[in-house]
Amino acid sequence: MSTVPAATLHHDARIIGVVGVAHLLSHFFQLALPPLFPLLRAEFDTSYAVLGALVGVFYVASGIAQFAAGFVVDRVGARPVLLTGIALLAFGSLLAGTVPDVHWLFPVAALMGVGNGVFHPADFAILNANVAPRRLGYAYSMHGIGGNLGYALAPLVSFALGAALGWREALWVMGGSGGVALALVFSQRAVLSSRQTEAGAHHTLRGSLALFREPSILLCFVFFCVLTIATVGLQTFLPTALNAAFDLPIAIATSAVTTYLLGGTAGIVAGGFLAARFARHDLVAGAGLGLAAVVVAAIAATAPPPGVLLPLLALVGFAVGGTGPSRDLIVRRATPAGASGRVYGFVYSGLDLGATVGPVVIGFMLDRGAARGVFLLIAALLVLAIGTVVRAQRASVPA
Q: Which residue has the higher pLDDT, 212 or 121?
A: 121
Taking 60 as the threshold, does the pLDDT of residue 236 lie above it? yes
DSSP symbols for 154-180:
HHHHHHHHHHHH-HHHHHHHHHHHHHH
> What pLDDT score was predicted for residue 170?
92
Of the chain, the percentage scoring pLDDT greater than 70 comes to 90
Q: At what angle do helices 119-130 and 9-30 cross, to 10 degrees?
A: 170
What is the reported pLDDT for 392?
Answer: 67
At 109-119, the pLDDT tens digits run 999 999 998 88
Residue extents of the structural domains in the chain:
10-192+210-395
| Span 139-194, pLDDT tens digits | 888 888 888 788 778 888 988 998 889 889 999 999 999 999 899 888 888 777 65
- pLDDT above 90 covers a percentage of the chain that reads 20
Span 10-192+210-395: which CATH code?
Answer: 1.20.1250.20
Q: Give the pLDDT of residue 1.
A: 43
Residue range 74-133, pLDDT digits in tens:
778 888 899 999 999 999 999 999 988 888 999 999 999 999 988 888 888 888 878 887
CA dist 15 and 127 (Å) reads: 7
Residue 100: CA atoms inside 13 Å, Cβ hemisphere, count? Answer: 0
End-to-end CA distance of the chain: 6
Which of 157, 196, 164 is CA-nearest to residue 24? 157
* pLDDT (tens digit per residue) in 215-224: 778 888 888 8
The pTM score is 0.72
Mean pLDDT for the chain? 83
